[in-house]
Amino acid sequence: MSFRQPSILPGFGLTLGFSTFFLSAIVLVPLAALVMKTATMGWSDFIRVVTDARALASYRLSFGASMLAATLNSVFGFIIAWTLVRYEFPGRKLIDSLIDMPFALPTAVSGIALTAVFAENGWIGQYLAPLGIKVAYTWIGVVVALTLIGLPFVVRSVQPAIAEVQRDLEDAAETLGAGRFTIFRRIVLPTVFPALATGFTLAFARAVGEYGSVIFIAGNLPMRTEITPLLIVIKLEQFDYKGAAALGFIMLTMSFVMLLSINLLQAWSRRRMVAAGR
Amino acid sequence: MAGGPSKEMLAEIASRPGRDTLISSAVKYVFIALSLGFLAALLFAPLATVFITALSKGWEMYFESFKDEDTLAAIKLTLTVAAIVVPTNTIFGIAAAWAIAKFEFRGKSFLITLIDLPIAVSPVISGLVYVLLFGAQGWFGLWLQERDISIIFAVPGIVLATMFVTFPYVARELIPLMQQLGNDEEEAAITLGAGGLMTFFHVTLPKIRWGLVYGVILCNARAMGEFGAVSVVSGHVRGLTTTMPLHVEILYNEYNFVGAFAVASLLTLLAVLTLIIKSLVEMKRK
């Protein structure tokens, strides 16, 4: 088999050459520099840096908060997507377009705005403070920021899948005496699940790397409210390039794993769609 | 489900007895209430806060914030960076989409994954890699220092980091669109003797222009709003290497809330504009 199938269209060499060159120059070579910098550290140095107590605490917060945020997003993202697809209400179109807002809004803006809202004297924070719930400058604030950032990923993944659920099947099940919960579990969930899993993974991947919106609301106390990307920035500010590279390498590896799982999940949901004859 | 059920049929289904039971309408209102409540707390309240805080000392103070020299410098830098990054990434996006959508070759899906990479990578890493390459102790640090070229803590570094982060947006928008449209019309044009460029501008571009517009707008929004990557390479030299999002951070940390939220309000308006254009593009496509 040859490298490419014949075509009469021109420009293959030029466009492929240009895009792979540009991709290498801007993305691949710099990423390789990170890997190489990490490789210049000894194995024991590497282990010491990435298993340092402060680093471990930062992973716990970054991954724990991202997991929680992605879970919240899966629940509320499903509810929002369902509402937008199935129900007609005034302002539906407007809400639908606003779902992409966290994606278009600069993260620094969402960071300072969320902090203002959830601070002890903020619009929402003032009602939570008497209940003993502190959001801003605690790990809860980190979860709130990551939830906002990840929301569009879940809603946009799940929306088309909900539109695919066959309503006549739901009706048939209802006629045959199935309860609402059974219908949800047996008909809706199997159709929507691959998309929901994709959305969860996308939201999680985005949350793990997020920096801008978190650092304003987190308070950034070492060991307590310090996310891994912030720890990298701190190491860079102390000119500890190797330490920064080592932590960066860990995060990069995570990103690769996430990207791989997203591709597999998407392939899975596509196969299910095809298998269902749609 | 080719075509889907007709309007009359949907109306008939909706009017069937048992559809609007007490429980189903209760579920509907609970779902709508939960959705709106969640969005109100997490999205609408913060958006409103931006404008209310920016205007808390009146319109005069609001406009006064934009007379500050450093603020103006930040706006100018952000526009400059976007003016370099967006066209470059647009050209890349078109080239990559042409190669990937129009031809079948080995390793294509791997190439697509690589193009998507910057989206999966933390913005901090996107900045870090350039510091490792061009920073004082980086691979090319000494070489650059001898020649008195500064990339890190200077504008070129900001441009590179922004380019990395916004790299995939145009390509991601165009690839699925061009794949879906197929090659027939381009092949016809070439067979009839049109050149490559002529085919692109007269056959392909008119078909993909709305997708292209959206990709460019999204790339622009992300370029102007990028914080993490730029923050790592900028060095935060006030008035020199601070883009608008970085300037928001500086003002905020100085407790100049009116100033910080005033600059933030411009960025929010940019995001709103991006979404409006997105909606228009989606309407045009239908």
Percent of chain B with pLDDT strictly greater than 70: 93
pLDDT tens, position by position, A24-81: 999 999 999 999 999 998 899 999 999 999 999 999 999 999 999 999 999 999 999 9
CA A143 – CA A61 distance, rounded (Å):
9
Tens of pLDDT, residues B219-249 = 999 999 999 999 999 988 888 999 999 999 9
Interface test with A, best of B124, B166, B169 (most A CBs within 10 A): B124
Q: Does A232 touch chain B (CB under 8 A)?
A: yes
Q: Note the pLDDT tens digit of each residue in A135-187.
A: 999 999 999 999 999 999 999 999 999 988 877 888 888 888 877 788 888 88
Residues of A whose CB is below 8 A from B261: 112-113
- pLDDT at position B15 is 58
**CA proximity to B123, closest of A240, A221, A251, A219:** A251
Give the pLDDT score at B18. 53
Pick from A229, A267, A268, A244: nearest CA to A58:
A229
Measured in angstroms, the CA of A67 and the nearest CA of chain B are apart by 16
Question: Which chain B residue lies closest to A164 (C-alpha atoms)?
Answer: B1
The per-residue pLDDT for range B239-276, each reduced to its tens digit, is 899 999 999 999 999 999 999 999 999 999 999 999 99
CA angle A213, A37, A55 (to 5 degrees): 45
Please give the Cα distance from A19 to A52 (Å, whole number). Answer: 40
pLDDT exceeds cutoff 70 at B17: no
Question: Positive or negative, the Cα torsion across B252, B47, A211, B169?
Answer: negative
Q: What is the mean pLDDT of chain A?
A: 91
Least confident of A39-43, A106-110, B36-40, B89-93: A39-43
The rounded distance, in Å, linking the Cα atoms of B189 and B197 is 11
> pLDDT tens digits, residue range B75-97?
999 999 999 999 999 999 999 99
Pairwise CA distance, residues B14 & B10, whole Å: 6
Residue A4, SS3 per DSSP? strand
Residues 6+ apart with CB under 8 A from A231: A54, A55, A58, A247
**Chain A residues near residue B163 by CB distance under 8 angstroms:** 26
Domain extent listing, chain B: 19-53, 58-285
Integer angstrom CA distances of residue B172 from A67, A199, B168, B264:
26, 17, 6, 28
- The residue type of B78 is T
Q: Which residues of B touch A76 (CB under 8 A)?
A: 34-35, 38
Q: What is the pLDDT of residue A115?
A: 96
Cα(B205)–Cα(B226) distance, rounded to whole angstroms?
Answer: 29
Q: Which of B137, B167, B187 sits opposite A27 (nearest CB)?
A: B167
Q: Any CB–CB contact under 8 A between A243 and chain B? A: no
Q: Which of A5, A97, A180 sits opposite B275 (nearest CB)?
A: A97
Residues on chain B touching A3 (C-beta within 8 angstroms): 105-106
pLDDT band at B2 (very low <50, low <70, confident <90, very high): very low
Arithmetic mean of pLDDT, A223-232: 95
Residues of B in contact with A89 (CB under 8 A): 32
pLDDT, tens digit, 9 for 90 and up, residues B151-177: 999 999 999 999 999 999 999 999 999
Q: Judge whether B179 and B225 are in contact, CB under 8 Å.
A: no
pLDDT of residue B139: 85
Residue B7 has pLDDT above 80, yes or no: no
pTM of the entire predicted model: 0.90
Are B122 and A1 inside 8 Å of each other by CB? no
Architecture of domain A47-275 in CATH?
Answer: Orthogonal Bundle (1.10)
Tell if the CB–CB gap between A101 and B43 is shorter than 8 Å.
Answer: yes
Tokens of B202: 């007269």
Would an 8 Å CB–CB cutoff place A239 in contact with chain B?
Answer: yes
Q: How would residue A6 be classed by pLDDT, with cut points 50, 70 and 90? A: confident
Angle at CA A276, nearest 5°, toward A271 and B3? 115
What per-residue confidence (pLDDT) applies to B23?
Answer: 75
Our measurement of the distance from residue B104's CA atom to the centroid of its chain's CA atoms, rounded to an integer in Å, reads: 29
pLDDT tier for residue B4 given thresholds of 50, 70 and 90 = low
User: Which residue of B lies nearest to A244 if distances are taken between CA atoms?
Assistant: B128
Residue in this structure with the two tokens 């048992």, named with its chain if needed = B18
The gap from C-alpha A110 to its chain's centroid, in whole angstroms, comes to 16
Q: Which amino acid is at B254?
A: E
pLDDT at position A273: 67
**Do the Cβ atoms of B47 and A113 come within 8 Å?**
yes
User: What number does CATH give the domain B58-285?
Assistant: 1.10.3720.10
Kindly state the average pLDDT of the residues A238-259: 91
Rounded Cα–Cα distance for residues A206 and B222 (Å): 14
CB B96 within 8 A of CB A15: yes
Query: A4: which strand partners?
Result: B105
- Residues 19-58 of chain A with CB under 8 A from chain B are 19-20, 22-23, 26-31, 33-34, 36-37
Give the nearest partner residue to A106 out of B125, B167, B225, using CB atoms: B225
Contact A98 B43 (CB under 8 A): yes
Does A80 contact B38 at a Cβ distance shorter than 8 Å?
yes
Write down the pLDDT at residue B167: 92
Q: Is A71 part of the contact surface with chain B (CB cutoff 8 Å)?
A: no
The answer to whether the beta carbons of residues B90 and B209 sit under 8 Å apart is no
Confidence band, pLDDT 50/70/90 cuts, at residue B1:
very low
Give mean pLDDT, residues B25-38: 92
Cα torsion A235, A240, A243, A246 to 10°: value is: 100
> Which residue has 């890493």 as its token pair?
B125
Q: Does the pLDDT value for residue A260 go beyond 90? A: no
Verify whether the Cβ–Cβ distance A104 to B103 is below 8 Å.
Answer: no
Which of A22, A30, A84 lies nearest to residue B133, judging by beta carbons? A30
A77: Cβ–Cβ under 8 A, 6 or more apart, which residues?
Answer: A151, A153, A154, A155, A158, A199, A203
Mark which residues 115-134 of A lie under 8 Å from B by CB.
Answer: 116-117, 122-124
Give the nearest partner residue to A236 out of B50, B128, B245, using CB atoms: B128
C-alpha distances out from residue A18 to A201, A218, B110, Å: 32, 42, 17
Residues 6+ apart with CB under 8 A from A5: B103, B104, B105
Q: How many helices (H) and strands (E) does chain A have?
A: 15, 0
Question: Chains A and B: how many Cβ contacts under 8 Å?
Answer: 286
Q: How far does B229 lie from chain A, in Å, by closest CA?
A: 9
SS percent in chain B: helix, strand, coil, step 5: 80, 0, 20
Contact B132 A108 (CB under 8 A): no
Nearest CA in chain B to A228: B124
Q: What is the pLDDT of residue B27?
A: 87
CA of A54, closest CA in chain B: separation in Å? 18
pLDDT above 60 for A266 = yes
Contacts of A117 in chain B (CB under 8 A): 41, 45-46, 49
Widest distance between CA atoms in chain B: 82
Are B118 and B124 in contact, with CB atoms under 8 Å apart? Answer: no
